[in-house]
Amino acid sequence: MSATSSPPGPRPRLVPQAGPSAWRAPDLRPADWMVPLGTEDAAEIEAVLAALGGRAPATAAEAPLPRLGAVLRQAATRLDTGRGLVLLRGLNLDQLGEGEAGAEALLLVLGTHLGRALPQGNAGEAVQRLDSPAGGATRWRFHADAADIVALLTLRQPPDVDPVMLVSAASVHNEMLKRNRAALELLYAPIPHLLLQEEGATPAVVALPVFSTASGAFVGRYARDAIDAAQRLPETPRLTAAQVEALDSLDAICAEPGLALRMEVRPGDVLLFNPLLVWKRRAEAVEGDAGAVRQALRLMLVTPSSRALPHGLAAVGEAPAPGATGGMVGG
């Protein structure tokens, strides 16, 4: 196992986070996060997909969207300096044809106007399918993927499946500041995380904070699964009882009623969010449960305009559960 750590720095200056990204669910109206798409937008997408003929575009120039491209650029600004989330609504997946392949092509076209796709999974694919279980999942936590932008295209949303849930990292930070400054300070200190790597690679651990600042901007990147995975390696320094308590407190605050936004999604909806500012719930299904699931496609992107990250932070995301095989389960 290889391990790296961040050099110790000065104690953090704990201050409340302000601005549009520090929201609570009651503060938001649908107009704060929903962007309706019309027939002209759909027509642009259909024309691009037909011209590509099933080929993934390498650049935005290969997938021209004169009208929708401007909408996506505005959405990117809202992700970086606004609420941190945008829902594009109004696309009809049936009109795209080719089932999931058509939906994947749609997501890749939109992605070229937002950033560069990151590889996912053992095969390094750009688009990955996520299956989210119905209510009553054995465990769920809020987490942040290792990307500047996460794009989720809903394929299937049964009525008895829980809604998408998102929480503001800044608001969670502020709640911890009010309740337990000592616990919050521990989350600004480096904590061992298991890095996401190709299958068969030597496990690598890096020590990174949950909360930090980069270029003067607030960063919240929470990956409890990666922290827990690092602890399963005998060479990893053990978390202290105070660190575990701080992480448990963070989980509890995220799950409190009234903080997280419950978002009902429909097939064709494209949810965009900035995981440095907004954390998403991730659920785990009961083993062997073949009940209702939400199906979505996920594209993770890096952008040239995103805020700089502390060294190593971009490589940390959700770690696979012990013994996990096959497709991913997401929230």
- pLDDT for 178-227, tens place per residue? 999 999 999 999 999 998 766 667 888 989 899 998 778 899 999 999 99
* Beta sheet of 2-5, edge-to-edge order: 2-5, 204-208, 191-194
Q: What is the length of the chain?
A: 331
| Three-class DSSP category at 155 | strand
CATH code for the part of the protein at 31-329: 3.60.130.10
Is pLDDT at 285 greater than 70 in this prediction?
no
pLDDT bin (cut points 50, 70, 90) of residue 12 is: confident
Rg (CA), the chain: 19
Residue-wise pLDDT tens digits, 20-30: 999 999 999 99
pTM over 0.85? The answer is yes
